[in-house]
Amino acid sequence: MRESLAAIDDRYRAEPLDSSIYDAELEQRVIDFQRDHRLDVDGLAGQQTQIIINSLLGLEDTPRLTTSRLARE
């Protein structure tokens, strides 16, 4: 999570990058990311947050969030 957020924008960097611990610093970066991307802000890297992160990283086979109007076109 730390590396993914840092790869998107250095403002979301939470040190140390190689840590797998979800600490207060990482939670704050997730909150910042969620707020910036108009997601529900809860500090948890849930499904919608993960989809946006993966989309921004250009990862293949990532589900895309879209409005129902766009889905019909």
Identify the CATH number of the domain in which residue 54 sits. Answer: 1.10.101
Range of the domain at 63: 2-72
Question: Quick check: 27 pLDDT over 90?
Answer: yes
User: Cα dist. 39→11, 16, 19, 20, 32 in Å?
Assistant: 17, 25, 25, 23, 10
Among 53, 52, 67, CA closest to 4? 53
For 20-47, letters b (16+ CB in 10 Å) and e give eeeeeebeebbebbbeeeebeeebebee
pLDDT at 61: 75
Q: What is the pLDDT of residue 19?
A: 85
Domains of the chain: total: 1
Confidence of residue 68 (pLDDT cuts 50, 70, 90): low
Q: Which two tokens stand for residue 60?
A: 């293949």
State residue 58's pLDDT score. Answer: 87
Instruction: Please state the pTM of the whole predicted model.
Output: 0.79
